[in-house]
Amino acid sequence: MNLASILVLCVGASSLAFSAAANAEVTAVQKGTKLVILGDSINDVIHVEGGGALGKVKVDQGTTPSLVGSFVGVRDITIETGDGNDAVNVSGIEIPGSLKAKLGKGADFLRIDDLHANGTTNRSPFIGGNVDASLGDELGDTFQCEIALATNVVTIGGNLSIRGASNLSIFGGGSSSNTGDRDIYVAKNLSIRAQLAGAMALDDVNVGGTTKFVLGGAADFLEIEDSLFVRGVAMKLGDGNDHVHFISDIECNATLAIDGGGGQDVVEAITNVTVLGKSTIQSVEDPL
């Protein structure tokens, strides 16, 4: 079983634990072109779904979704859940601006995908600006950006910044580093920072800017497959016994720098890994 399968099993098991408290209260208010979605201090389950047109958004709450509100003319979305074990699913949205999500204390779950909870048509998510996801750096905090339908893509026109996720999956599910269906496009920079990182998987991710990983003292497992990095890739793995696994069809068109930090670290590549710039690997006991 590869790391991606382990990650799916772990995330699947943890996501079953998310349930909305009976008196959980979610509010959604549009201020001009900005939609602000707020949870409370108990367990929230929030669904944010695209309505099939640019700027059209619907917000539901609960494991059996009930409508919070429907909105048009939305450019930017801000989500703040407060404390509690919160789950936020952002599906098929199409907005010209940015998405910002801040999940507080608790074991939280944030997912961006093309699947609608209510069974409506699956749509490729489009976010024209930045995506800024901030989780609490606690065990169980999970970020996912995934594609289910074979002809869909995820497009992020700005930066993708993820902080505080102990489990992470950015998973397109295509078959090569060539651009095409089932790809996740990040036009600018990708930044991943976590103190308690565990399992992380990137598959069919195309990054137009720089890519940076800054991880803490836990034993980190990072798996990358079928991905393209146009500019430099830098990894600071921190302490702990870390494992970086480049599987296949990976193109890095600039530099690759890996700092293993403390612990017994392993970096391995299976096949078709291309680095066009300078490759620097330090503090790794078993390098490429």
- What is the distance between the alpha carbons of residues 32 and 14, in angstroms, rounded to a whole number? 37
Segment 244-257 shows an average pLDDT of 93
Question: 29-81 pLDDT, tens per residue?
Answer: 999 999 999 998 889 999 999 998 999 999 999 988 899 999 999 999 999 99
Residue 10 has pLDDT above 50, yes or no: no
The amino acid at 39: G
pLDDT at 18: 44
The pair phi, psi for residue 239, each rounded to 5°, is -75, 175
Segment 181-202 shows an average pLDDT of 89
Question: For residue 20, what pLDDT band results from cuts at 50, 70 and 90?
Answer: very low
Tokens, residue 1 = 């079983």
Average pLDDT, the chain: 86
Greatest alpha-carbon span in the chain = 56
Residue 218 has pLDDT above 80, yes or no: no
Segment 11-31 shows an average pLDDT of 61
- What is the distance between the alpha carbons of residues 201 and 32, in angstroms, rounded to a whole number? 37
pLDDT at 178: 60
Residue 7 has pLDDT above 80, yes or no: no
pLDDT at 117: 61
Segment 257-284 shows an average pLDDT of 87
Question: 81-123 pLDDT, tens per residue?
Answer: 998 999 999 999 999 999 999 998 899 999 999 987 655 558 8
The pair phi, psi for residue 176, each rounded to 5°, is -160, 175
Question: 128-170 pLDDT, tens per residue?
Answer: 999 999 998 888 899 999 998 888 999 999 999 999 998 999 9
